[in-house]
Amino acid sequence: MCAEPVFGADRCGACVTHPPAFVRTVAARVYTFPLDAWIRALKYRGHLPAARALAGLLADALRFAALPDLLIPMPLSPARQRERGFNQALEIARQLPPHLAGPLDTRVLLRARDTEAQAALSIEDRRRNVKGAFRAVRTLSGARVALLDDVMTTGATADAAASALREAGAAEVSVWVVARALR
Q: DSSP letters along 75-96, please?
A: PPPHHHHHHHSS-HHHHHHHTS
88: in domain: yes
Print the SS3 string covering 18-76.
CCCCCCEEEEEEECCCCHHHHHHHHHHHCCCCHHHHHHHHHHHHCCCCCCCCEEEECCC
CA atoms of 5 and 9, how far apart (whole Å): 9
Length of the chain: 183
84: in domain: yes
User: What pTM value is reported for the model?
Assistant: 0.92
53: in domain: yes
1: in domain: no
* pLDDT 10s digits, 139-168: 999 999 999 999 999 899 999 999 999 999
DSSP summary character for residue 169? T
How many domains is the chain partitioned into structurally?
1
Residue ranges making up the domain that contains 48: 13-180
* pLDDT 10s digits, 13-42: 888 888 999 999 999 999 999 999 999 999
CATH code for the domain of 58: 3.40.50
